[in-house]
Amino acid sequence: EIAIIDRGETIYTDTYSNITRDYYREMLRHSTMPAIMAAVLGVDQLWYLGEQILVKRAEQETRPTPWHQDTDMPINQVGTVGMWMTFDKLDVEHSLQFVRGSNHWPRLTPYLSAKPGEKTPHLYPYEDARHMPPFPNIDLEPEKFDLISWPCDVGDVILFHNMTIHGGAPVPPSGQRRT
């Protein structure tokens, strides 16, 4: 899927691709990533839920990726962990950002942007999303949150609980972020 956004911003997304799934599984069989994840979780077996490849390019600095939790599947989130890896060197201002401790918060439902006068739809379409608390406006009052981020080199991996609120910082002008 390719989205061309205003201001010269292009986002390419490959998520849960049936075409590439066998390739990713084979790559993981020959990788240390499953062993790292199993050691972190203290388990002998893992379930592979899928992959998401994002490439974000821009002529000007882009908007940040919205704050979210990776809870878009109606499954029990206990023991679900994300592995975020970058294919580009990123300074702390352009890396993934987290709200420390938010993995202990409830499952939240962010809202999609709506045009003025329209009802704002829920991001998650399943029924229990209507009963989830809304997301706080982290960008409006960032000082109220313990925000953390790290500079990353190519191939660095960050492990985080899927309930942890996170978002990608803007891509710098004439830059890209491949994760």
pLDDT in tens, 143-162: 999 999 999 999 999 999 88
Nearest to 57 by CA among 179, 146, 136, 172: 172
Q: pLDDT (tens digit, 9 = 90+) per residue, 112-154?
A: 555 555 555 555 666 666 677 877 888 888 999 999 999 999 9
- For residues 102, 106, 111, 112, the Cα torsion angle rounded to the nearest 10 degrees is 60
Which helix (H) or strand (E) segment is 22 a member of?
helix 21-29
Q: Which residue has the tokens 């981020």?
A: 149
What pLDDT, in 10s, does the model give residues 67-106? 888 876 656 666 778 888 899 899 998 899 999 999 899 8
**Rounded to whole angstroms, how far apart are CA atoms 76 and 17?**
22
Model's pTM, two decimal places?
0.80
In the block, residue with structure tokens 């990788």: 31
Residue 179 CA, distance from chain mean position: 10
Q: Buried b / exposed e across 35-70, counting CB within 10 Å, b at 16+? A: eebeeeeeeeeeeeeebeeebbbbeebbeebebbbb
